[in-house]
Structure 1
Amino acid sequence: MRRNVIETVLGGVVLAVAAVFLVFAYTSADLRAVDGYEVTANFSSVGGLQNGSDVRISGVKVGSVTGQTLDPDTFLAVVRMNIDPAIRLPGDTVAVIASESLLGGRYMALEPGGAEELIEPGGRIEYTQSTPGIEQLLGQVIFSMQGAGGPAAGGAAGGATDAQEGAGGGGLLD
């Protein structure tokens, strides 16, 4: 009977520690939705960016992605963001879709410029940059390696072999 009481108390302690850990993780993760003014930006590709993704300036969360649609006229992705009202973006701000890590998700990185005019609520960020996906980068590396291993690389290796034979061949024939 005494053993059952000890196991029950130990189980309760484990559950209490787990609850404290979850509360700490939630409060430190900054998962709050940002209420502020809306701005949009057009991108050629938004692969991996999701609704609710962070909008960051210098790594600090200043907003959230609220929606994505396709512009039927230009066939560009239109990303809507809510930005903290305390943050006023210059007119030459650049929006970049960045990766959190090699395997992580994507977020919107804003790089404010130095313009004096500001982007108004409901306005649009004019300068955008889509980052290529990991698949595209790997494809470029593979194709560039195939190009480097072609005739140009073989010719350079062949030239070195000919030079070696010429230098060593004279001593062997004498």
Structure 2
Amino acid sequence: MLGRGRRTAPLAGLLELVAVSSPTFWIGLVLISVFGFGLGWFPVVATVGFGALLLPAATPAIPVAGIISQVLRQGLDDAAALPFVDTVRARGASHTRLVVRHTLRHAAASSITLTGYMVGSLLGGSVLVETVFARPGLGRVALNAIVDRDVPVVLGIIVLAAVAFSVINLLVDLVADRIDPRLETEQAYA
């Protein structure tokens, strides 16, 4: 790692491990218990308003954020070991500039690619989230359509998911091309 943050690395690793290994339904129940019932910050039963969307949105996002955080942290560690880091430090760049301007660009490429892939898991986990929060949604519609053998609805949902997945992966590819400095070098020599 880049020197700073060594004290917080074990805590970050523990939080990532807990986020990745916790089942989605359990995360949802904990969020409801703590932020809905305990603190009263978010409505538990409401289906209208921005506050009603935060807990159901955070529930599947926490495990995905844990995985992406692990990959990003490993990428930052790998990028910090590359020779260009010594050159940037020799030029007098601050630690923040080194991370934000240089090593983060190297580390973010694999994290962004993984983010596009993880969208599929977010779509797949929607049935659990909708069940825990008792909310109507596309996951429950898909489950009912499968049980009822309603082929047109199932096909429609599959096509919608495939289009969303394709568009998100196209955006991920475009962003990765702009961020990854190794691709800029390859394109300059082509």
The TM-score with structure 2 as length reference comes to 0.22
Task: Name whichever structure is richer in helix by fraction.
Answer: 2
Task: Name whichever structure is richer in strand by fraction.
Answer: 1
The TM-score with structure 1 as length reference comes to 0.24
